[in-house]
Structure 1
Amino acid sequence: METDKTEQRYRAPALDRGLDILELLAIHPGGLTRSEIMKEMGKSPSEIYRMLERLVARNYVSRSLEGDRYALTMKLFHLAASYPPLRRLVMNAQPLMDEFTRETMQSVHLVVADMGQAHVVAQASSRSAWEFRLRVGAMLDMLHTSSGQTFLAFQDKDSVAQILKAAPDAPESLSAAMMKEFAVIRKNGYRLSASQQLVGVTDISAPVRSANGATVAVLTCPFLPRVEAPPEDAQIVDLQGALDLLLKTAERISKT
């Protein structure tokens, strides 16, 4: 009874409506129209309209290009990434990434989306004296890197549009060739292709998923063929071997 009185005393109806909208959109990844939101919440147009506009203005919610559908942006994810969940992701991923490098003698990095770019949040190096690796904190182009393309391939239409809107020098919409590439990545469950930045490097990228199946990160190995003798407790794997191990590692990270 005392708890009920306290809740009533400190009620903030506008804040409650805003939170209700965010929670509602969180379970509708394809977004909802304003009418659908009003129906789900049992609220009048005047109660919803202004709140939606403020959420759009603050970039928590995006309005579709047609202007009639609303969906969550990545902003809540970015807020969460500043808090322990991202640290937990990196903490759980790092030992598995280290294991991958020990077995393959290849480097590997973990990427999340950050304000229209791919952000390297973790990295593991090969024990070899020779390697190619990306530093933690590096910002990568979403459309012209294997990590970025793989991340976009597993996002819904509205999320892709929102990322492109924030990305520097990005087109307003995807080309037919890029959409075809994304379809191939989704079908295969990974991306394997020559690097778009360096000659001789083959990028292998696999999605890392959350408990509800959403792609929240990408694990990428910039594969370099090796001719040197490996340490006694390692082996030099070929491209197919590296792909198989990367997919297993991404799956294991997804389950942590």
Structure 2
Amino acid sequence: MDIDDRYRAPALDKGLDILELLATVDGGLTQAEISKHLDRNPNSFYRMLDRLVKRGYVTKLDGDRYSLTLKLFGLGQLHAPVRRLASFAMPYMRDLAQGSKQANQLAVFDRGSVVVIAQQEAPDYWGISIRVGSHISMFDTGSGHILLAFSSPEEREMMIAAHIKNDEKVQLGQSFYDRLDQIRERGYEMMPSAQMAGVYNLSAPILGSDGTCIAALTIPYVTLVNSSSGPDITQTITLLQKTVKDLSKLVGADIAGTE
């Protein structure tokens, strides 16, 4: 017996074979197609596919086709890359807070949720803080809109499906998708907060070297009574755009350096 086969785990191998196969195709595969590619009996995959769907690694599309979700991607984001991103971002987030006189936060998509991974408080008395680790809505927050707007159509649909599974059932009309297209075209989101009166969410994407949206940086903008205390909302958007541009260059360079 080959020493490498001494501790075989056939069920685990079968699940990994399925995941690796689905990662190589667009549009998913039927159970029969999976069995043909892997040269196995179709019935031998039924229970494994059922478990992968229930655990959120695979989703079942129309026509009984199976496709990967973003869960594996989300798991990868939980560890060193996310910590490195937060570490890189914090000096820029502090500078942004000082320049704008506003708080800001960094959020990523993880397994059906938008998760805050870093938070910088406002330098003065007033500002909106969100606890690191908070899960926020994808459909009515600036961060969620940015993460959706700057994803591919396929990624977007998987993110929405995963979020609806974890959240309330919602109906998204064409106007929602039109808004995402508008956000992508102008490069940022500006919207009244759905959670707090008098607050505007100003959000923009941090992009990787391949144009993929890695994270969303958001300023919950509060209009101060003393207008001389800080820049207005238009000036703040400019500061936000410069910050994400600088961070995108840094993150892109780091990714290229690790390949």
- Give TM-score, length-normalised by structure 1: 0.79
User: How far is the alpha carbon of 1:93 from its aligned partner?
Assistant: 1.8
Q: 1:61 aligns with which of 50, 58, 62?
A: 58
User: How far is the alpha carbon of 1:109 from its aligned partner?
Assistant: 0.4
Cα-to-partner distance string for 1:11-38 (whole Å, 9 max, x where unaligned) = 334322322332343455x541225545
Q: 1:7 aligns with which of 4, 8, 12?
A: 4
**Which residue does 2:131 correspond to in 1?**
135
**Which residue does 2:102 correspond to in 1?**
106
Matched, 1:80 2:76: yes
Matched, 1:200 2:198: yes
Q: Is the 8 A contact 1:71 1:158 kept in 2?
A: no
Cα-to-partner distance string for 1:114-164 (whole Å, 9 max, x where unaligned) = 454432221112212222232223332222222223223334223311221
Q: Is the 8 A contact 2:105 2:116 kept in 1?
A: yes
Pair 105,50 (structure 1): closer, same or farther in 2 beyond 3 Å: same
Pair 26,250 (structure 1): closer, same or farther in 2 beyond 3 Å: farther
**Which residue does 1:191 correspond to in 2?**
189
Pair 237,200 (structure 1): closer, same or farther in 2 beyond 3 Å: same
**Which residue does 2:242 correspond to in 1?**
248
- Please list, as runs of the form range in 1=range in 2, the aligned pairs for 1:143-182 lying within 5 A after superposition: 143-153=139-149, 154=151, 155-167=155-167, 169-171=168-170, 173-182=171-180
Cα-to-partner distance string for 1:210-249 (whole Å, 9 max, x where unaligned) = 555443422111123444556xxxxx43333322332332
Cα-to-partner distance string for 1:191-220 (whole Å, 9 max, x where unaligned) = 112222333322111223455544342211
Structure 1 residues 39-48 or 188-197, which shifts more? 39-48
Q: Is the 8 A contact 2:28 2:68 kept in 1?
A: no
Q: SS of the residue aligned with 1:203?
A: strand
Q: Distance in 2 between matches of 1:196 and 1:229?
A: 27
Q: Is the 8 A contact 2:116 2:135 kept in 1?
A: yes
Q: Is the 8 A contact 2:119 2:132 kept in 1?
A: yes
Count of residue pairs the alignment pairs up? 244
Q: Is the 8 A contact 1:31 1:72 kept in 2?
A: no
Q: 1:237 aligns with which of 227, 231, 235?
A: 231
User: How far is the alpha carbon of 1:40 from its aligned partner?
Assistant: 5.0
Matched, 1:16 2:13: yes
Q: Is the 8 A contact 1:25 1:31 kept in 2?
A: no
Matched-pair identity in %: 37
Q: Which amino acid aligns with 2:164?
A: L
**Where does structure 1 lack aligned partners over 5 or more consecutive residues?**
231-235
**Which residue does 1:233 correspond to in 2?**
none
Q: Distance in 2 between matches of 1:174 and 1:185?
A: 16
Q: SS of the residue aligned with 2:84?
A: helix
Pair 85,240 (structure 1): closer, same or farther in 2 beyond 3 Å: same
CA RMSD of aligned residues (A): 2.9
Cα-to-partner distance string for 1:20-61 (whole Å, 9 max, x where unaligned) = 332343455x54122554555455534544432221122211
Q: Which amino acid aligns with 1:127?
A: P
Q: SS of the residue aligned with 2:169?
A: coil
Q: Is the 8 A contact 1:62 1:162 kept in 2?
A: no
Q: SS of the residue aligned with 2:105?
A: strand
User: How far is the alpha carbon of 1:108 from its aligned partner?
Assistant: 0.7
Q: Distance in 2 between matches of 1:166 and 1:145?
A: 16
Q: Is the 8 A contact 1:78 1:114 kept in 2?
A: yes
Q: SS of the residue aligned with 2:2?
A: helix
Pair 205,23 (structure 1): closer, same or farther in 2 beyond 3 Å: farther
